[in-house]
Structure 1
């Protein structure tokens, strides 16, 4: 119970706002993550009483990082078209924030989609020169930018609808793309391949064979999708002002307003390009 009072993650790698995205990757859907949050609220209410439980959820920051996996969901993109699909995703996202609000959350940080078209896997799954030159898949990046623009606007409007809510949009696209386009000042020598295995399509257990690169610090990406620790810290610095936990929470406190510094609730928090 002590851990429940100081911070909880309900995140699932590979998840999205679209339930199909999560199902395709075997991830926990956002609906189920919210159900876990509901159970969390019930547990702390039973343990600490309603007044304190309400105080914890209303003053703790709730960080949500979803959307990039949805941009890579080729089935849904093809089925609906980018413009309609991004509208659907924003609608699903707003439903999530409203449900959290209904459960007592008041401080919500929303991180937008990353430039998913520039991850190694997407560079080699196109056709023609895209594969030969390993260029970014601009269709995916354009989709991410469109989604982010719509989401940011919708978040601003939602704040006016929900009394006492402070929902803040965080742009991760710009700092991530800037790092990919200008890696040399940070010591990166390879941005088109991941460090593990061939660096093209592998991630997870597939990274075991044939091994990893000799110096991961020179590779922006660890595998075919996720940035390495060094790149993640840089992106965090530029998105949130710091990569250290204490400074990061201080920045979130500044952006989200009056939050409880001793209790941090995170449903869901994933790596920047997941």
Structure 2
């Protein structure tokens, strides 16, 4: 997606964005979109896995800050806005079968099951607006790219069949901006809070910043420091190891944009 397209979409309200997405008119990533509204990572599981995943979220709030949970079989997030339908309002979904990505689609209506439970998890795209408001630029937004995301060597806390490593998102900044970014994001625990690591990526198991596991690479200047935040793609990695028969998630970087303002947190 070009920065010009991103700027045009950035003025759309969340409801307008969801309508575009629901019609299939926009299927790109949502970084920089939403006009100060919360974005959410999505995990959809059969009810037989839902309780364990709920416990996993409670035990791992940095990676999985829980914003809302649907009633079994209901596709609507009641706390996130008016007419927020998880079956159609995410730009791109990933369908996983027995732990493996099976396919990506832009609507999951035909895959919906009567016992599905959907989870909305806080996303770092939400605190990006707070950083932008403070005058801190982010290169992936300036370049019209998705944020870079990496698997790490950091363990999550297990819950039943669910266990694995944390995934992080990375944003490079000059030292003065890094200090301010830590202060700002620490105020938003429901969108991952402060960074989990700063500096040398090899200390958390990342060997090449230009080869992210998800998203797009961004260049890092010599006078910049990489900051790493816990990421809502973590459940995808953990669920892959547990291998449930069926799981549906957002495609990395393709979030649900809610009606809820990040300032409400």
TM-score category (smaller protein): under 0.3
Query: Which one has the bigger strand percentage?
Result: 2
Normalised to the residue count of structure 1, the TM-score between the two structures is: 0.25
Structure with bigger gyration radius: 1
Query: Which one has the bigger helix percentage?
Result: 1
Normalised to the residue count of structure 2, the TM-score between the two structures is: 0.25
